[in-house]
Amino acid sequence: MKLTQALKMAAKSISGNKGRSALTMLGVIIGLAAVIILVSYAQGQNLAMEKYYESMGENKLTVYAYAYNNDVDLAEELSNYCQQISDCVAGITPNEYVWDVNIQYGVQSLGQSNNSYGVSIGGGVYVTDSYNTRPQFYLANDQFGLCNNYTLAKGRELSYMDIKRLNHVCVLGAATADTLFGMVDPVGKEVTVNGLPFTVIGVYAPKGNGTTEYNENGDNWQEVEMSRMDRIVVFPYTLTRIFNGNQSISDFTVKAKDSKSAKEAATLIRAFLSGLVDMENGNGYADVYNEGVYREEENEANKLQQYFLGGIAAISLIVGGVGIMNIMLVTVTERTREIGIRKAIGAERGSIITQFLIEAAMICGIGGILGIIVGYLGTLIVGKLAFKIVLIPGVGITVGAFAISVALGIIFGIYPAAKASRLQPVDALRAD
């Protein structure tokens, strides 16, 4: 019997018994979709973690440097040097955290004082400060947003001229703007900072990274949707006289081009600073921290979780496989009789097995494709609900799960054919 004939016969058999075909397909669809969704959920957790690090500034270098030698303007020097190595550095900003600041608009007032120290960006998931208070105040330059992954919602960033001219301007984080101004547009409004008039020139878009934070309010834990990262105020770093007791800037954030160049940039900047700061004689200190290092440590800690998720994938694959197997075996009696008839009217074993093989491949192929579609849709929904991200199953798991469930379907699909075609026709016809 020719292959085209076997193909036609298989197609007829599928369309001739739509109920059975649909049921078999359903087995493949459920098995495959379950595996894809479960494994993608696991991968989504890692992805959410990645996103978190990304929002934290994955390619961020933290530079801590000071020199007692007042001839050196570290901020200026570092800034100039980073422009020279622009093939691995995308931006640099002073990132000086300052205390004892109070900002006021009308009756609304927000403050941060020395005794509430202990809050830092990205320090932890659970914070005990209310989001209505304690914004974090930074001295920075025009590249603060770039280096810390903030985007502007309104107005503009600090400018080079703001820095040069020591302009009394500030850029607000989304939460700070919300608390101080409510529905009012803050851009261009005058606020009072430590008694001095300042103009709000811009507002950053909320960075809300999706992790839910809690704060303690009396006895109740309240959900706070907005990220702590949005409770910030940024001033020109040259205003140290107002905010920093005229201390020089010692904290900087460098944004590397990508995670690869981060290491190179760290090495270069470290070398540059050691030439600038006389550490050996105790006349200063300089170091560069690569945030990517923490990430690697986190990944190590995640390994156990990875094994756990691998186990889930294996179990769901087995569950899906058993489902496919069951549905295939349920129809064995009926199919054995059919094989008896086919043998009795002159079908050879080979053509029976070929037909069943094609039939199983068609059903499992179509079921597999539908299963992938269902799995993708399910994964998108799970990703949206669980992680608030667009989660798409990996190619590896999709191809792997498809191959395994189709293989299982085919194996259990031709199993009755292979077995029954060995029987005498009467024995196959008597099957029950």
Partner 1 sequence: MLIDIKNVYKIYNEGQESEVRALDGVSLRIDRGEFVAIIGASGSGKSTLMNILGCLDVPTYGDYSLDGTDVTELSDRELARIRNKEIGFIFQGYNLISALNAYENVELPLIYRGVSILKREDMVMEALEKVKMADRAQHKPSEMSGGQQQRVAIARAIAAKPPIIMADEPTGALDSRTGKHVLEILHTLHEEAGTTIILITHDNSIAATAHRIVRISDGRIVADSMNDADLQYSVAHEGGAGA
Q: Interface with partner 1 by CB under 8 A: which residues? A: 1, 5, 9, 12-13, 16-17, 334, 337-338, 340-351, 424-427, 429
To partner 1, the closest distance from the beta carbon of 425 in angstroms equals 4
CB burial string 350-365: b at 16+ within 10 A, e below? ebbbbbbbbbbbbbbb
In the complex with partner 1, which residue's Cβ is closer, 226 or 418?
A: 418
In the complex with partner 1, which residue's Cβ is closer, 165 or 430?
A: 430
Bridge-based pairing of strands 251-256 and 232-236 is: unpaired
Closest CA to 90 of 54, 66, 51, 61: 61
Helix (H), strand (E), coil (C) string for 74-136: HHHHHHHHHHHCCCCEEEEEECEEECCEEEEECCEEEEECHHHCCCCCCCCCCCCCCCCCCCE
To partner 1, the closest distance from the beta carbon of 17 in angstroms equals 4
To partner 1, the closest distance from the beta carbon of 28 in angstroms equals 19
To partner 1, the closest distance from the beta carbon of 20 in angstroms equals 8
Radius of gyration of the chain (CA): 33
To partner 1, the closest distance from the beta carbon of 390 in angstroms equals 43
- Residue 145 in contact with residue 253, Cβ under 8 Å? no
In the complex with partner 1, which residue's Cβ is closer, 185 or 334?
A: 334
Site of tokens 């900003």: 93
Distance CA 380, CA 344 (A): 51
To partner 1, the closest distance from the beta carbon of 355 in angstroms equals 11
In the complex with partner 1, which residue's Cβ is closer, 16 or 197?
A: 16
In the complex with partner 1, which residue's Cβ is closer, 145 or 425?
A: 425
To partner 1, the closest distance from the beta carbon of 432 in angstroms equals 13
In the complex with partner 1, which residue's Cβ is closer, 25 or 317?
A: 25
Give CA 402 to chain center in angstroms: 25
Site of tokens 């029987």: 423
Distance CA 111, CA 283 (A): 34
In the complex with partner 1, which residue's Cβ is closer, 75 or 347?
A: 347
Distance CA 381, CA 41 (A): 10
Q: What are the C-alpha distances in Å from 146 to residues 39, 90, 157, 163, 167?
A: 35, 8, 10, 16, 20
In the complex with partner 1, which residue's Cβ is closer, 15 or 115?
A: 15
- Residue 132 in contact with residue 173, Cβ under 8 Å? no
Site of tokens 């299963």: 371
Q: What are the C-alpha distances in Å from 292 to residues 59, 78, 263?
A: 7, 21, 9
To partner 1, the closest distance from the beta carbon of 426 in angstroms equals 4
Strand partners for 171:
202, 234
Q: What letter does residue 238 receive in the DSSP assignment? A: T
Distance CA 237, CA 141 (A): 6
To partner 1, the closest distance from the beta carbon of 371 in angstroms equals 24
In the complex with partner 1, which residue's Cβ is closer, 194 or 424?
A: 424
In the complex with partner 1, which residue's Cβ is closer, 139 or 347?
A: 347
Distance CA 72, CA 65 (A): 11
Q: What are the C-alpha distances in Å from 70 to residues 75, 236, 283?
A: 12, 20, 10
To partner 1, the closest distance from the beta carbon of 30 in angstroms equals 24
To partner 1, the closest distance from the beta carbon of 16 in angstroms equals 3
To partner 1, the closest distance from the beta carbon of 125 in angstroms equals 59
SS3 306: helix
- Residue 121 in contact with residue 207, Cβ under 8 Å? no
In the complex with partner 1, which residue's Cβ is closer, 108 or 333?
A: 333
In the complex with partner 1, which residue's Cβ is closer, 90 or 429?
A: 429
